Structure 1
Amino acid sequence: MTSPIAAHSPAFAFLESPLDRAEHLRDHADGLAARWPRSRVVVVDAEGRAAADAEGGPLRLEGADLACAATGGDPCASALFLGLRGDEAWFAMRADAVVADIAHWVDLRRAAATWPAVEATAFAQARAVLHWQARHRHCGVCGTALEDRRAGWLGWCPRCKLEHYPRTDPAVIVAITDGERLLLGRNAGWPAHRYSTLAGFVEPGESLEQTVAREVFEESGVRVRECRYLASQPWPFPSSLMLGFIAQAEPDEPVVGDELEDARWFTFDEVDAALRGASPEGGLLLSPSISISRWLVSHWHADMAGRRGR
């Protein structure tokens, strides 16, 4: 039976209202400079927070509001071009590269939960690429300082002539079921009673399906029989792409090692109460709704409810 959730767009952060990335404009410096004064600019500080207004909402900054921190510099020349929303260009800049009166900052998790989707999604895009830029300033082959090209999307080595592109780290995240129960795990640093779907990074030479089976077994000792891809979510903490699966597994008793503090099977009724916010004190606490993890749990719950005739 197809879950009713699968018939709709996934409901989690950083997917809704993406910008038109307008890749063809990245080589047109003059055209971008002409758009700069009336553009929207997302300013991100060294901790990955975005400029906000006094209420914690997105601070509307335009190119004309900003000056370059380097004397005589052109702020547009050092800005990352994010894309277009209609005719409006969107850029991102590091806080230390601009001169602006910014008193309030908001982290991406809070923005994902409270900002309009277009601003939160643009913030996620900006944070991921600016993080890559800040940590990839030199060529990994010869050590020469890279030059930013293509409106911030390419690091070019003037010595090796090598091109360096923003990094994305693929990771699987999995709702694991034995047909009746859902397997969830928790890390030691999480709030009490918080459990989530299992996840792990894809290794070189490995398929996504192989990663699912390996990660689940490594973290819980549970054997996966088969899995199916459902959806994905960009997760810029700092540069992951979460690839969501549902997996059928053996009803093995979970055994955790160094990666998790605990893993256990949860019944439909326990998950149902957690999703409704009706768990008793000390009951299951799930990941927030901004994450694909929560959506995967909801997907499993909806499928189980359909099979039970609820």
Structure 2
Amino acid sequence: MSDWRFCPRCAAFLVAGEEGGRERLVCAARCGFVHWDNPAPVLAALVEYEGRILLARNHAWAPGAFGLITGFLERGEDPAAGVAREVREELGLTAGRATLIGVYPFARRHEVVIAYHLRAHGEIRLNEELAEFRLIAPDKLKPWDFGTGLAVRDWLQGRRR
């Protein structure tokens, strides 16, 4: 459950209750507020650049930890357009057509990942979030067993078919 304690509508305490067939936090004063606590939608881009896959390291990550380009879906945004936006914002690249790889739960961060493959071109210019990048030949790419690594696994399996 979430760490919310007070109702944002009336400031009463939130208490455990059942709503929609699940335990949720509800307003103790019964103003009608329910904290649904749904996962946040995150976009992930498996970027193919000059025939190789681009992996990046966020400044907050440990040295040697690389992953796909990710970012939150904006309100009212088409996910395919959003993943192209993230590639432009984080890498300075222009994205080609985005192809859906899959949708993956990421419970550890309370997110759902919507992953796409796309080809991109231009000059790589990392934004302030990213420390460094690597370009990996697709046949050398190894998936990891959580988060966006599941999309890497599925994309690699799709290439082999």
TM range (shorter): 0.7 to 0.9
- Aligned counterpart, 1:45: none
- Aligned counterpart, 2:14: 146
Q: Cα distance, 1:265 vs. partner?
A: 2.6
Bigger relative contact order (CA 8 A; separation at least 6): 2
Task: Note closer, same or farther for the CA distance 1:164–1:231 as it changes in structure 2 (3 Å cut).
Answer: same
Amino acid at match of 2:6: H
Matched, 1:196 2:67: yes
Secondary structure in 1 matching 2:98? strand
Residues 107-118 of structure 1 correspond to what in structure 2 (within 5 A)?
none
Q: Cα distance, 1:193 vs. partner?
A: 2.9
- Aligned counterpart, 1:237: 108
1:246 alignment partner, one of 114, 117, 141:
117
Structure 1: state its 5+ residue gaps. Answer: 1-129, 276-285
143-152 or 212-221: bigger deviation = 143-152
Amino acid at match of 2:116: F
RMSD of the alignment, in Å? 2.4
- Aligned counterpart, 1:297: 152
| Contact 1:172-1:202 within 8 A present in 2 as well | yes
Structure 2: state its 5+ residue gaps. Answer: none
Residues 170-209 of structure 1 correspond to what in structure 2 (within 5 A)?
170-178=41-49, 180-209=51-80
Amino acid at match of 1:145: F
Q: Cα distance, 1:302 vs. partner?
A: 4.0
Matched, 1:158 2:158: no
Task: Note closer, same or farther for the CA distance 1:152–1:301 as it changes in structure 2 (3 Å cut).
Answer: closer
Q: Cα distance, 1:157 vs. partner?
A: 4.7
| Contact 1:254-1:264 within 8 A present in 2 as well | no
* Inter-partner Cα distance in structure 1 for 2:37 and 2:134: 37
Q: Cα distance, 1:191 vs. partner?
A: 3.7
Task: Note closer, same or farther for the CA distance 1:224–1:161 as it changes in structure 2 (3 Å cut).
Answer: same
- Aligned counterpart, 1:268: 138
Secondary structure in 2 matching 1:247? strand
Amino acid at match of 1:180: G
Residues 14-29 of structure 1 correspond to what in structure 2 (within 5 A)?
none
State which structure, 1 or 2, has the greater radius of gyration over its C-alpha atoms.
1
* Inter-partner Cα distance in structure 1 for 2:154 and 2:52: 13
Secondary structure in 1 matching 2:44? strand
* TM-score under structure 1 length normalisation: 0.46
Task: Note closer, same or farther for the CA distance 1:143–1:257 as it changes in structure 2 (3 Å cut).
Answer: same
Q: Cα distance, 1:216 vs. partner?
A: 1.2
Residues 277-288 of structure 1 correspond to what in structure 2 (within 5 A)?
288=144
| Contact 1:268-1:304 within 8 A present in 2 as well | no
Structure 1 vs Structure 2: percent identity of aligned residues?
23
Secondary structure in 2 matching 1:152? strand
* TM-score under structure 2 length normalisation: 0.82
* Inter-partner Cα distance in structure 1 for 2:23 and 2:40: 19
Task: Note closer, same or farther for the CA distance 1:220–1:160 as it changes in structure 2 (3 Å cut).
Answer: same
* Inter-partner Cα distance in structure 1 for 2:147 and 2:96: 22
Q: Could you say which structure has the higher helix fraction?
A: 1
Secondary structure in 2 matching 1:296? helix
